[in-house]
């Protein structure tokens, strides 16, 4: 039972990273395609302001997820790391380049430097979620054997992992664009339509990928497909409805509520994956129960989670509220 | 059933696996880089907090300007530290999967605690850095307090995980390699957590204090002897100077802990070959690891025994006691230990010098030698800290978990570790270059901007007001 609760908290952590970290990555995606330094200046500046105060806290979810995985489900962590070291190393490199590129651009005034750091930030923002998504796809399609070395290449160079990689990038772009519509609306800088168009484009892209996914998964990951079309079907439907509703509202130029719907669409798909492979942690290899570490450790982790709920969650909410009320802003570098 | 793979890995290989060397080098390199940034992430907030508090209390615009600028430097350093720290959590699994697979649920717990502290630190540092203009000065000042506390808690937690590798506790291992009686609290609060945690925390404050102060010492020597540079020097230097004598005492206690709990490491630190009383203290020197002879050292008779147990009769275990394959490379450990102690002592003298002059004259020392040493103190503190990590990490070899798991048993089987090592060296070199370039750019910009034409800073209620005296600004 404790193992199931810890796994649920881990899934919540993954969901939080997908949403908040995802929106940050997505900002880098739109930064990459914002055009030249003249044309792209206004949207870039707005995105910069939006993610500046929150990206490090958002990013901490990844550390949280890794640490919980290795403490609670050590063998699974070791197996994932030994099989998928290539995409994970590439993701780690991407994370370093992205964080430092972003921080450096903020405090750089010369155009050449800003361009270099900005391009580094933007490019790694697109590449990193792809590799992280591919890792999830590799796990979900049962390509990580327990305690052995899966193939270092074919474990993630395959239809499912590529699908989830691209889906991750599309999801990030989608979330960022929807969030930025709100940001633009609040700031009244005339960028609402700019981000609405992009949010619509990203949601259509993500939707098409999901449709392709039905075909890919039914062939390449039958176990996952089976789960998604049975136990997890309600989650898939919720995700589809929320996604379509967001799309329709954005089309009509309605803003209120789209943020929540977009978040629900993404969260539902992460939980659909979890439910689909439940009770397995590594599909076909090991269940949550079997993978769980010592009971004392699981209990200790639950205590830490409770403390986190008391201290971290209110602090995070305060941070987001301050950011939302425009009470956080950078002074000149 | 799960442990079969890990149990199988326990039969020690005759030849160390080829990926052991690059894996160790990559870990040492990335950790050695991150630790400098981590020190700044942990201790810089206190420096900024004190400057900010002083500024509000004394209504001092110079201190406020320093606090503001330091917070911007802190933002850059914290960002780079956050991502290099993330790399380490990947590397735990990428390089040492078997240690994590075997012991993750024992020593992972302090990392989980550290994760929570880091979360709080990341949240409040963002609020502090971005809250200068719109939060009330009091509220804003208070938002730095959780950053300081979370930094302390995070340091102790993450060092607890390292201390566990030196003092494994909180589990029982069956002959087949299965772990029972796992107690994460006992693992976290192992015999090394207290002294190692305190030792690292003080090191973080020393590194940050001396490093920040050394920037202003350089400015001072260049003739910028204004209030801005005086405060910029005194605040961080005083913090470091207070920590240094405490650090010497903690370090001395730590050495005695190593003597009693990790005798082989202690023997390597002190180049003790044959077990016995009345051991000399070697300063410098090289041990011949065949014959046990020490050459080129200054030997102080009996002092090592006295330091270890307050008496020349204290018996110290020698390296020859353990088989060669269980010994760390003694000379590396010994020279690193001497480097740490030597630089620490020099910093103690420098702190005493500063304290004495300030006590007698209420002024900064005038001596050129003092300022030269102060300008070098940041680099000295970093070198001492890195040397200390070499002592504890190389000194534990060949074990990754002391007495239980060898480093070669923990390493990944993955190929291409040399490639990943090369990539990370290149990557970190680029990031280090970027950090230096942007920080220098900021400092140049600040030096060119006098406060009076800094409109953005003066049009808000909570920002530096006009300085009472003209001054040039040097990097913060």
Interface test with B, best of A125, A328, A329 (most B CBs within 10 A): A328
B88 touches chain A (CB under 8 A): no
What does the pLDDT read at residue A109?
85
Closest CA in chain A for residue B88: A92
Query: Sign of dihedral through CA atoms B356, B357, B362, B365?
Result: negative
Q: Do B115 and A75 touch (CB under 8 A)?
A: no
**% residues pLDDT > 90 (chain A):** 76
Q: How confident is the model at residue B14 (pLDDT cuts 50, 70, 90)?
A: low
Residue B393 has pLDDT above 80, yes or no: yes
Residue-wise pLDDT for B79-95, tens only, equals 999 999 999 999 998 99
The answer, yes or no, to whether the previous bond of B398 is cis (omega within 30 of 0) is yes
How confident is the model over A207-228, as a mean pLDDT? 93
Distance from CA of A168 to the nearest CA of B (A): 20
Nearest CA in chain A to B97: A78
Examine the pLDDT at B474 and tell me if it is beyond 50: no
**Cis geometry, peptide bond prior to residue A279 (ω within 30 degrees of 0):** yes
Q: Does B139 touch chain A (CB under 8 A)?
A: no
- In this predicted model, which residue has the larger pLDDT, B16 or B228? B228
The pLDDT of residue B464 is above 60: no
Q: Hey, what domains does chain A have and what are their CATH numbers? A: 2-324 (1.20.1630.10)
Of B101, B105, B122, the CB nearest to A56: B122
What's the pLDDT score for residue B7?
44
Test the A interface: residue of B66, B85, B108, B114 with most A CBs within 10 Å: B108
**Shortest distance, CA B302 to any CA of chain A (angstroms):** 46
Task: In whole angstroms, give the CA distance from residue B441 to residue B57.
Answer: 31
Are B72 and A96 an interchain contact pair (Cβ–Cβ within 8 Å)?
no
pLDDT band at B460 (very low <50, low <70, confident <90, very high): very low
Structure tokens at B267: 């023997």
pLDDT digits (tens, 9 = 90+) for B68-81: 999 999 999 999 99
Residues 401-440 of B with CB under 8 A from A: 412-415, 420, 423-424, 427-428, 431, 434-435, 437-438
Nearest beta carbon to residue B438 from set A108, A294, A323: A108
Question: Rounded to an integer, what is the distance from CA B270 to the centroid of its chain?
Answer: 22
Give per-residue pLDDT as tens, A29-53.
999 999 888 888 899 988 988 888 8
Compare all CA atoms of chain A with the CA of B131 and give the residue at the minimum distance: A328
Judge: A104–B113 Cβ closer than 8 Å, yes or no: no
Contact B5, B176 (CB under 8 A): no
Selection from B13, B18, B9, B16 nearest residue B419 by Cα: B18
Q: Report pLDDT for A178.
A: 95
User: CA-CA distance, A219 to A207, in Å (whole number)?
Assistant: 19
* pLDDT value of position A330: 62
C-alpha distance from residue B361 to each of B216, B349, B353 (Å):
21, 18, 12
**Distance from C-alpha of A99 to C-alpha of A130, rounded to nearest angstrom:** 16
> In Å, what is the CA distance from A297 to each residue of A70, A71, A305, B113?
11, 8, 12, 12
Of the candidates B357, B70, B449, B45, the one whose C-alpha atom is nearest the C-alpha of residue B231 is B70
Q: How far is B123 from chain A (nearest CA, A)?
A: 5
Quote the CA–CA distance of A40 and A199 in Å, as a whole number: 17
Tell whether A287 is within 8 A of chain B (Cβ): no
Write down the pLDDT at residue A253.
Answer: 86
- pLDDT value, residue A331: 56
Among B341, B412, B336, which Cα is nearest to B19's?
B412
User: Once rounded to an integer, what is the mean pLDDT over residues A62-67?
Assistant: 93
Q: Find which of B19, B41, B93 to mutate to test the A interface (most A CBs within 10 Å of its CB).
A: B93
A66/A77 Cα distance (integer angstroms)? 8
Q: What percent of chain A has pLDDT over 70?
A: 98
Q: Which residues of A touch B424 (CB under 8 A)?
A: 93
Residue pair A207/A214 in contact (Cβ under 8 Å)? The answer is no
Residues 167-186 of B with CB under 8 A from A: 171, 179, 182-185
pLDDT band at residue B446 under the 50/70/90 scheme = confident
Shortest CA gap B214–chain A (Å): 22
Among candidates B75, B76, B94 on the partner chain, residue whose Cβ is nearest the Cβ of A85: B94
Unique residue bearing structure tokens 């004259």: B361
Considering only CB atoms, A81 lies closest to which of B97, B105, B428, namely: B97
Task: Give how far B171 is from chain A: nearest CA, Å.
Answer: 10
Angle at B203 between CA B200 and CA B206, to 5 degrees: 160
Indicate the pLDDT class of residue A303, thresholds 50, 70 and 90.
very high
Lowest model confidence (mean pLDDT) among A306-310, B3-7, B12-16, B410-414:
B3-7
Residue whose token pair is 């998504």: A133
Instruction: Please return the burial class of A230, using the count of CB atoms within 10 Å of its CB with bins 0-12, 13-18 and 19+.
Output: exposed
Mean pLDDT of A278-293: 91
How many residues in chain A?
333
The fraction of chain B above a pLDDT of 90, given in percent, is: 70
CA nearest A114: which of A34, A59, A230, A11?
A: A34
At B133 the pLDDT is: 82
What average pLDDT does this structure show over B3-26? 67
- Which tens digit of pLDDT belongs to each residue from B184-225? 999 999 999 999 999 999 999 999 999 999 999 999 999 888
- The residue of B91, B104, B459 whose CB has the most chain A CBs within 10 angstroms, and thus the best one to mutate to test that interface, is B104
| pTM across the whole model | 0.90
ipTM given for this complex: 0.91
Instruction: Tokens for A234, please give them.
Output: 């309600």
- pLDDT score of A5: 94
Name the pLDDT band for B450 (thresholds 50, 70, 90). Answer: low
The band of A107, judged by pLDDT with boundaries at 50, 70 and 90, is confident
Is residue B438 within 8 A of residue A108, CB to CB? The reply is yes
Which region among A192-201, B113-122, B140-149, B451-460 has the lowest average model confidence (pLDDT)?
B451-460
DSSP, residue by residue, A195-209: HHHHHHHHHHHHHHH
Q: Find all residues with CB under 8 Å of B368, minimum gap 6, and list them.
A: B221
Read off the pLDDT of residues A117-148 as tens digits, 9 standing for 90 and up.
999 999 999 999 999 999 999 999 999 999 88
Residues of B within 8 A of A57 (CB-CB) are 119, 122-123, 126
**Mean pLDDT value of segment A240-258:** 92
Average pLDDT along chain B: 88
Judged by CB atoms closer than 8 Å, whether chains meet at B130 and A52 is answered as: yes
Q: How far is CA B402 from CA B25, B394, B428, in A?
A: 19, 12, 30
> Rounded distance, CA A51 to CA A240, Å?
27
């Amino acid at each position: 039972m404790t193992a199931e609760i810890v796994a649920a908290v881990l899934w919540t952590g993954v969901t939080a990273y997908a949403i908040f970290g995802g929106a940050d990555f997505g900002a880098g995606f739109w930064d990459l395609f914002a055009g030249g330094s003249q044309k792209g200046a206004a949207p870039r500046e707005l995105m910069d302001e939006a993610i500046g105060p929150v990206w490090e806290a958002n990013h901490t979810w990844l550390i949280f997820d890794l640490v919980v995985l290795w403490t609670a489900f050590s063998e699974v962590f070791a197996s994932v790391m030994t099989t998928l070291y290539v995409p994970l190393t590439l993701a780690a490199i991407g994370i370093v380049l992205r964080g430092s590129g972003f921080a450096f651009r903020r405090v750089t005034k010369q155009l050449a430097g800003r361009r270099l750091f900005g391009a580094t930030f933007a490019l790694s923002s697109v590449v990193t979620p792809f590799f992280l998504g591919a890792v999830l796809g590799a796990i979900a399609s049962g390509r990580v054997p327990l305690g052995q070395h899966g193939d270092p290449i074919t474990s993630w160079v395959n239809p499912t992992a590529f699908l989830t990689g691209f889906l991750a990038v599309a999801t990030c772009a989608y979330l960022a664009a929807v969030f930025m519509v709100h940001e633009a609306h609040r700031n009244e800088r005339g960028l609402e339509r700019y981000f609405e168009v992009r949010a619509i484009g990203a949601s259509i892209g993500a939707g098409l990928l999901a449709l392709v996914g039905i075909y890919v998964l039914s062939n390449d990951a039958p176990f996952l497909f089976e789960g998604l079309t049975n136990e997890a079907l309600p989650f898939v439907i919720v995700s589809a409805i929320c996604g379509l509703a967001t799309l329709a509202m954005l089309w009509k130029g309605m803003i209120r509520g789209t943020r929540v719907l977009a978040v629900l669409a993404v969260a539902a798909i992460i939980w659909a994956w979890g439910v689909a492979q439940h009770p397995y942690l590594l599909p076909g290899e090991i269940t949550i129960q079997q993978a769980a570490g010592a009971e004392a450790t699981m209990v200790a982790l639950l205590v830490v989670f409770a403390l986190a709920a008391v201290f971290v969650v209110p602090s995070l909410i305060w941070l987001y509220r301050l950011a939302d009320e425009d009470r956080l802003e950078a002074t000149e570098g | 059933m799960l442990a079969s793979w890990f149990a199988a890995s326990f039969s020690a290989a005759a030849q160390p696996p080829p990926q052991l060397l690059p894996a160790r080098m990559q870990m040492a390199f990335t950790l050695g880089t991150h630790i400098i940034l981590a020190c700044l992430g942990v201790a810089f907030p206190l420096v900024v907090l004190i400057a900010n508090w002083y500024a509000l209390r004394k209504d001092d615009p110079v201190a406020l300007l320093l606090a503001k600028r330091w917070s911007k430097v802190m933002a850059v350093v914290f960002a780079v530290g956050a991502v290099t720290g993330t790399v380490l959590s990947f590397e735990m699994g990428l390089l040492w999967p078997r240690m994590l697979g075997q012991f993750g649920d024992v020593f992972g717990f302090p990392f989980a605690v550290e994760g929570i502290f880091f979360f709080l630190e990341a949240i409040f540092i963002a609020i502090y850095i971005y809250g200068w203009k719109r939060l009330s000065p009091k509220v804003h000042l208070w938002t730095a307090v959780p950053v300081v506390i979370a930094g302390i808690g995070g340091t102790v937690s993450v060092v607890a995980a390292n201390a566990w590798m030196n003092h494994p506790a909180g589990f029982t291992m069956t002959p087949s390699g299965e772990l029972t009686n796992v107690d994460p609290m006992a693992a976290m609060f192992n015999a090394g957590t207290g002294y190692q945690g305190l030792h690292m925390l003080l090191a973080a404050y020393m590194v940050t204090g001396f490093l920040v102060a050394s920037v202003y010492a350089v400015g001072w020597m260049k003739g910028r002897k204004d209030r801005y540079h005086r405060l910029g020097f005194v605040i961080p230097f005083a913090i470091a100077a207070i920590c240094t004598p405490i650090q010497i005492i903690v370090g001395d206690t730590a050495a005695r802990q190593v003597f009693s709990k990790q005798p082989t490491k202690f023997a390597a630190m002190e180049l003790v070959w044959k077990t016995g009383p009345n051991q000399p203290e070697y300063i410098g020197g090289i041990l011949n690891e065949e014959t046990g002879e020490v050459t080129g050292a200054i030997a102080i008779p009996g002092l090592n025994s006295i330091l270890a147990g307050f008496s020349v009769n204290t018996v110290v275990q020698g390296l020859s006691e353990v088989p060669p394959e269980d010994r760390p490379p003694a000379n590396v450990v010994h020279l690193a230990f001497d480097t740490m102690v030597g630089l620490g002592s020099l910093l103690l003298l420098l702190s005493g010098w500063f304290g004495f002059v300030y006590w007698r004259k209420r002024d900064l020392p005038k001596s050129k030698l003092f300022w030269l040493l102060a300008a070098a103190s940041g680099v000295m503190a970093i070198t001492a800290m890195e040397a200390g990590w070499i002592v504890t990490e190389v000194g534990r070899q060949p074990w990754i978990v002391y007495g239980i798991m060898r480093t070669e048993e923990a390493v990944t089987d993955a190929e291409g570790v040399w490639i990943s090592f090369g990539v990370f060296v290149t990557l970190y070199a680029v990031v280090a270059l970027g950090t230096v370039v942007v920080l220098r750019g900021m400092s140049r910009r600040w030096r060119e901007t006098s406060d009076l034409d800094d409109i953005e800073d003066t049009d808000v209620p909570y920002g530096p007001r006009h300085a009472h005296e003209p001054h040039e600004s040097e990097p913060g």
